[in-house]
């Protein structure tokens, strides 16, 4: 338990994967949440070690030790479980008995895709719990808010997908772009690759470098296609190319598409305002202002901008998020707030950090 001594009316939270980057961000955000208390810091890699010895920023804030990933036992102790784990783990642990006792917010891809064959093709693993795929709600709050409120299993979207989908969603929904022409070029900070040791993520590999990866094969591609397909009312096939850049946090997605009609900046802005005008965490920027990752760092905001290119008949869409907050842990807490009938922004009033 935290030294804050929150009372018994709090939402009791368990985290499996609490020592990964997304898990650590969950702990940071929930430590300031007035209605939630973390009861279980699950980490298979650091069992019985003090959490604050793994993340020293939690010294004298968290006095708990890391525990295992026993979801069966955990489900009897908490109201909600966050699984910030590699693909396949949540699906291998979840069952009907667990879901009858607690809610689950899965930060992996196990329940994001509705077609199990697509999941198995892109993730190269068999799905261990296909019986829950139809029930799982895709937790992009700005689009599926009402369904999230009623859910017991939420598939928290990926970081690239959150940025890519929200940036294009209003125009896809209104038929303003030709979906067959959509190309998404995205850049991410290295925390998006996780905390595990990998040669390609060493300082000397990443510093003073930018590189494309997962070209035409990145696992977030079918997730983006599926969700924008729902918006457009048609099957969507697109090019998505991610790049790794030498910074800790942030995603910038730049998207290109052919316009289906001749529209002005003001008309496109009105479409964005129709969908996002009342959204706390989506900020549509002023004319000729482009999103930058530095202005969303440490926050749950999505900054969106766009530029019409009359010479080519195309529109260039741009979105920026913090991949660990709105792209992972912040969105997960936003989902939790909806699931428990709380103010959606509770614990997420995080002003972007600068410099």
Q: Which residue has the tokens 């979801």?
A: 71
Nearest to 268 by CA among 166, 157, 126, 171: 171
pLDDT exceeds cutoff 50 at 331:
yes
Is the CA virtual torsion 155, 182, 324, 126 positive or negative? positive
In a domain, 347, yes or no: no
Q: What angle do CA 66, 348, 9 make, to 5 degrees?
A: 65
In a domain, 341, yes or no: no
Verify that 217 and 311 share a domain, yes or no.
yes
Nearest to 323 by CA among 221, 228, 191: 191
pLDDT exceeds cutoff 70 at 341:
yes
Instruction: Determine how β-strand 177-188 pairs with β-strand 251-259.
Output: antiparallel
Mean pLDDT of 165-185: 98
DSSP codes of every residue in 102-153: -EEEE-SSTTT-S-HHHHHHHH-S--S-GGGTTT-EE--HHHHHHHHHT-SE
**What is the CATH classification number for the domain harbouring 47?**
3.40.50.720
Per the CB < 8 A criterion, the answer to whether 192 and 220 are in contact is: no
- pLDDT tier, 4 (very low <50, low <70, confident <90, very high otherwise): very low
Mean pLDDT of the chain: 96
Verify that 185 and 307 share a domain, yes or no.
yes
Beta bridge partners of 62: 2
Catalytic residue set: 159
Report the domain count for the chain.
2
**What is the CATH classification number for the domain harbouring 312?**
3.30.360.10
Per the CB < 8 A criterion, the answer to whether 127 and 144 are in contact is: no
SS3 content of the chain, % helix, strand, coil (to 5): 35, 20, 45
H-helix or E-strand containing 228?
Answer: helix 221-232
In a domain, 282, yes or no: yes
pLDDT digits (tens, 9 = 90+) for 44-85: 999 999 999 999 999 999 999 999 999 999 999 999 999 999
For residue 7, the model assigns a pLDDT of 56
Which residue, of 87, 120, 135, is where some domain finishes? Answer: 135
Which residue, of 135, 152, 183, is where some domain finishes? Answer: 135
Mean pLDDT of 9-33: 97
Full domain range(s) for residue 200: 160-323
Verify that 187 and 311 share a domain, yes or no.
yes
Verify that 131 and 178 share a domain, yes or no.
no
Verify that 110 and 242 share a domain, yes or no.
no
pLDDT exceeds cutoff 90 at 245:
yes
pLDDT digits (tens, 9 = 90+) for 118-144: 999 999 999 999 999 999 999 999 999
Verify that 172 and 314 share a domain, yes or no.
yes
For residue 109, the model assigns a pLDDT of 98
> Global pTM?
0.96
- pLDDT tier, 2 (very low <50, low <70, confident <90, very high otherwise): very low
In a domain, 57, yes or no: yes
Verify that 125 and 257 share a domain, yes or no.
no
Percent of the chain residues topping a pLDDT of 70: 98
Mean pLDDT of 330-334: 98
- pLDDT tier, 8 (very low <50, low <70, confident <90, very high otherwise): low
In a domain, 213, yes or no: yes
- pLDDT tier, 3 (very low <50, low <70, confident <90, very high otherwise): very low
In a domain, 345, yes or no: no
Provide the 3-class DSSP secondary structure of residue 302. strand
Verify that 296 and 167 share a domain, yes or no.
yes
CA 319 to chain centroid: 14
In a domain, 292, yes or no: yes
pLDDT exceeds cutoff 50 at 152:
yes
Verify that 98 and 190 share a domain, yes or no.
no
Verify that 258 and 221 share a domain, yes or no.
yes
pLDDT exceeds cutoff 50 at 169:
yes
pLDDT digits (tens, 9 = 90+) for 194-236: 888 889 889 999 999 999 999 999 999 999 999 999 999 999 9
- Count other Cβ atoms within 10 Å, centred on residue 96: 10
Distances in whole angstroms, Cα of residue 41 to Cα of each of 102, 208, 217, 241: 16, 36, 34, 35
In a domain, 234, yes or no: yes
Verify that 127 and 200 share a domain, yes or no.
no
Mean pLDDT of 330-352: 98
CA 160 to chain centroid: 8
Verify that 164 and 130 share a domain, yes or no.
no
pLDDT digits (tens, 9 = 90+) for 74-132: 999 999 999 999 999 999 999 999 999 999 999 999 999 999 999 999 999 999 999 99
């Amino acid at each position: 338990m935290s030294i804050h001594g929150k009372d018994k009316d709090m939402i009791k939270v368990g985290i499996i994967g609490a020592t990964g980057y997304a898990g650590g961000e969950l702990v940071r955000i929930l430590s300031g949440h007035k209605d939630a208390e973390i009861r279980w810091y699950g980490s298979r890699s650091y069992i019985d070690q003090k959490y604050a010895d793994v993340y020293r920023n939690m010294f004298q804030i968290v006095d708990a030790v890391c525990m295992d990933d026993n979801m069966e036992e955990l489900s009897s102790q908490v109201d909600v479980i966050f699984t910030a784990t590699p693909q396949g783990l949540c699906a291998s642990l979840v069952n009907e008995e667990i879901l009858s006792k607690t809610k689950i917010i899965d930060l992996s891809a196990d329940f994001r895709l509705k077609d199990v064959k697509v999941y198995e093709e892109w993730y190269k693993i068999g799905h261990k719990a296909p019986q829950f795929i139809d029930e799982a709600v895709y937790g992009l709050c700005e689009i599926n808010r009402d369904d999230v409120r009623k859910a017991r299993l939420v598939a928290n979207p990926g970081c690239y997908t959150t940025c890519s989908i929200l940036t294009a969603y209003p125009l896809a929904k209104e038929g303003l772009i030709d979906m067959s022409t959509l190309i998404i070029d995205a850049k991410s900070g290295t925390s998006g690759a996780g905390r595990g040791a990998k040669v390609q993520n060493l300082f000397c590999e990443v510093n003073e470098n930018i590189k494309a990866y997962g070209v035409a094969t990145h696992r977030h591609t079918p997730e983006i296609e599926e969700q924008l397909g729902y918006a457009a009312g048609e099957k969507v096939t697109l090019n998505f190319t991610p790049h790794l850049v030498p910074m800790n946090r942030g995603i910038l997605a730049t998207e290109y598409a052919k316009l289906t009609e001749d529209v002005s900046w003001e008309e496109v802005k009105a479409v964005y305002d129709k969908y996002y005008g009342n959204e706390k965490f989506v900020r549509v920027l002023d004319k000729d202002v482009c999103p930058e990752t530095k202005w969303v760092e440490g926050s749950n905001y999505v900054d969106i901008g766009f530029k019409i290119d009359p010479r080519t008949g195309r529109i260039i869409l741009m979105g920026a998020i913090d991949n660990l907050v709105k792209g992972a842990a912040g969105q997960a807490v936003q989902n939790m707030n909806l699931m428990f009938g709380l103010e959606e922004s509770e614990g997420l009033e995080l002003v972007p950090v600068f410099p």
